[in-house]
Amino acid sequence: MSDVISIVSGKGGTGKTFTAANLSLALQKFGNQVVCLDTDLDSPNLAMQLGHIPEDKTIEDVLRGDINELKAVNVHGSGLMFIPSSLPLTNERITEGKIKKMVDRFSGFADHTVIDAPPGFREGFYNSMKVSDRMIVVTNPEFQAIQDVRKIADEARKHNVKIEGVVLNKVEGILEEASRHEIEKITGLDVIQTIPHHNEVRKSIHKMQPLVADKHSKIGHSFRELAADLTGKRFRAPWYSKIIRSLRKLKGE
């Protein structure tokens, strides 16, 4: 029943966790049951981006066999369910069998399971890919990062996993960047959303409040649009959001 969506990238720091948190929340706000799973055990950030300090009920507790998958489900104030990864490093590792068991369990009650994957082409990437129905690749408009997107596209083809498309994040609109058209041509994938490089993102991460929680954030609207596209719905930003953003700017907020 569930739809398992992995958020992946070759290069680190492209904005996977930012995308996983905001997309999960946007899917949840459309009335879906969503579980978001942090599988980046080396550098876990998902819980913090959702305003939570993971102390117990972590993915490591499940991997160690101390608690079952359901006991590890944490609930965000919005109702979004998530499984954090612990801040201190442990010796636990995720195997394909273990992640499969987890997502199978979540599929029993969730409409969507979103996996925040680790960067690179190691075990974590392949485990996420193998249990996914579809993947979203997050990249920045740098030619080196885009070569990695190509590699992901090749691997997905080999393993017969669908790539929904590319989220092009941290766009500054400078000449040295790869354009949407170039990225689509190089990777053979569609760019399904474009997010600017904006201080609002840093602020939201610092405040531990995803931008989707702000009804009038333009970037928040981009994630709502993406969630609507992924679920065959339509999203229209409120007509007065622009006015509210201008007023906030005038007030220096």
Residues at the site binding Mg ion, with contacts judged by CB under 5 A:
16-17, 40, 45
* Nearest distance, CB of residue 31 and ligand ATP, angstroms: 25
CA distance 69 to 119: 23
* Residue 28 near residue 79, CB atoms below 8 Å: yes
Taking the least distance from each CB to ligand ATP, the nearer of 15 and 106 is 15
Binding partner of 119, given Mg ion, ligand ATP, none, CB within 5-8 angstroms per partner class: ligand ATP
**How many residues belong to the chain?**
253
Taking the least distance from each CB to ligand ATP, the nearer of 71 and 202 is 202
225-227-232 Cα angle (round to 5): 90
* Nearest distance, CB of residue 11 and ligand ATP, angstroms: 7
Taking the least distance from each CB to ligand ATP, the nearer of 14 and 107 is 14
Tokens of 53: 């300090």
* Nearest distance, CB of residue 2 and ligand ATP, angstroms: 23
* Nearest distance, CB of residue 7 and Mg ion, angstroms: 9
CA distance 63 to 68: 9
Taking the least distance from each CB to ligand ATP, the nearer of 205 and 208 is 205
Taking the least distance from each CB to Mg ion, the nearer of 8 and 107 is 8
Q: Which residues bind ligand ATP (CB under 6 A)?
A: 9, 12-18, 40, 43, 45, 119, 169-170, 195, 197-198, 201-202, 205
CA distance 168 to 184: 11
136, amino acid identity: I
Alpha-carbon 219 to chain mean position: 14
CA distance 251 to 253: 6
Tokens of 26: 């946007």
Binding partner of 14, given ligand ATP, Mg ion, none, CB within 5-8 angstroms per partner class: ligand ATP
